[in-house]
Structure 1
């Protein structure tokens, strides 16, 4: 049978009957077919006579068939004989990551859980020498059986003619792009993925938290460690799927739910009904019903009642004797209620009146003053930063530099939360006082080799109108050294 004779109704290997043509690309056709022996739907790829990579596809499919990870599409058969080549694989019904992101918002951690499963499966494939090279949102599926499937391992690349000098790196970046898409709904790669492109900031990819509100900081950091290949939160870049799987190991995973006895018919493109829902909530188990107490017989009830009455009478008598004894030996004194200890006021966030770059040891006594407001605007995507210096000790030009806040009046300082950059190496001090001269500001807390969000808590009661975050050592930045503050929150026990 020639390839041109392949049409709906064609039977391959005397068991796979082609039914519906799903898609065509570059001489490869995807069909929904029926395995007549096992009476189940399967996916079948067939190829036109002009398709030149049949041998590569069949070899890739046979290699993929040896993998047993249930999160990878199972390959059932692959052959090239009698002028007909085909690959038979598992038919997957469900919603792809693309479907989920374009049909309704999903929580970032739920999207990340899909990618975590894909990373683990891909790590197993890499251990066997197989790669994917075509990781897109349409290839990651949340199935109707509430499981995760990664479609097209090895076979996609062979069909599309994709090769790589460093396939581990390419699959790692592919997982990073999937994670970015899962938490932001934007695609940070080339080509048309079906999602809006990720925004850029002066030519550099915006971080997930710059794009979408509510992305957890640890997911933002993991994504940047993959895509930007930068250390974040004191952790190195992630360079393999196994490292990504380990970094995402704490993401809550979706719990499988029973498959509906009549699942909706979905094609391999995972076109899903509107009623499909990712991560269906498990119904809570009904509370146990306490057993009904058995009724006592008449005689037993009377005996029990008599015992209870005797015990009550004994307790009353003992109490009366004790009261009488106390009245006879000590005068009655009216007791005043014990004073209720005053509750410690709960710290509240106090908004600063203004912020200024603070460089009293420099020539102009200021440091990037035009950026200072970004540290108190409540936006994690904006920052104030120091000038770039040639060494972590500020080029040995001065003892320190910082950002000073005017709280408007002197207030008690409970603690100050400072969001720094993700690169470690900052040494900072918290200084508080009622004047802006450096000599009037007292150091009340400090932190060395800091990164991320740091809470500085004075060791004793501290009040002041001015709060200074003082850098004495800077982290590396683009070949030099620069300190950054994305946000400052001042907490006070003051009621006003």
Structure 2
């Protein structure tokens, strides 16, 4: 029996994964925070709802899809670590991405600005491009499967799960139950019609998500999922500008291209759509309100194929057949009462020859017309690949053709300013006086690394995204000059030209490095000063008298422990020794009284009796004598008779 998901919290799944709090719950599975007790790390565990693991076909497909997803290694893809079946509880172990989903962002902030929506879509397409290159189709792209980490990174989750589920339910739409596999708001028409899925299925979902980011609304709505699915099949996704004013036409065209109901008219895969998104972002960055050529390039069109010559004009035979009458040039026959003589055989042969002659003439005319209309009016498109625009123009004009620069695209192999391809293609027929549309290379796509020093981490990430680059993991480092949380520098020198999506690591300040403060109390001031100065502190010394601490030794220190920063000031109080006071004159006083007097002034007393003593106990003399100044605590010797 499968355990209910509600009882999983606190359970050790498969003897390894300690299940914690529920993170999310969907129609097919629940996601928990868990601890991998073997590797001592926090992970996310997706547990399929009870009963799913009872179907052998589903389990087999689930395992196969999990293995495929685990092969994806991309910073924008949620990593798959493990999968298993614990007594009917089917689960998938994934990287835990703290933060929120794109759905959370849309609830709080939709509609997004075109610039921000395209930046989000670009990271989604980076993940999907890696999947499509590995021949993996997501099939359930939606805001809930797009995770936004606090540091600005975006990750796409749940690759292959929709396919595993559809293997049990019978495809995108189960004919028996009517259950739609995949979120219906982003479902491509071919999934609804059970025509199979490919990379273009994900392209459609990306277009639908882009529409929602731009407008705050899903592309189609209805009272039931079936109604929404019906609209995906029979209605185009409306242009975002119909809801939100100010959206440029080329963004409308991008949405239309991605969400074309006929998948042959969509972008071929995520990599192609990514290139088109970057073209649109480039136009947006240039502040263009419209770009007719880009719009024309993006709008979905049926594949043109090879150009074919027009059908030949009607032949002479087709034009003349209704009016030609054989033998009409001769005189009309006259009536005769005599019965007509039999027609000689040569007359029949003559009529046959006339028909033969007419047929030959018509065939010749048809051949001449066909040659003119089918061949003579056409020439062959020259091969212009690798030629400069100037040379290409000279070549086509020498053949009586025109040349138009229809597109400009980046290329890693074709030099800047030279022809990449043509329409019609080289060797195809082109009508005399026609136009050859050429695509010129913009050279290698390179972007300058922006200056990042002094920016906040978020601002630096935004600057890299604007420059079509990727921010890497932050690298913390102490700095005495840059505030904590700001960028010290990037891992690549500012101004250097690099490929798009190049990762630039951010060296982020942790603020000033703390230094342990060692106590110097009781040490000679010279030694204390040297130790603290070498540690990087400034020293402030105050001197004072102290009866207990010898002269030149540290009495107190502030601060005396803990930590401080280089350049901070440490205050030392240094002893100048005990204070000097006037020695009382106690001569001729009784020794006891003299002792009391001296001790009351802070002196110590030592008594010496004369060699010839009379036992009077009177002070005859003292050392030091009365009236001199001596250190408090020093000894005064009394000579007694």
TM value normalised by structure 2: 0.35
TM value normalised by structure 1: 0.45
Larger Rg: 2
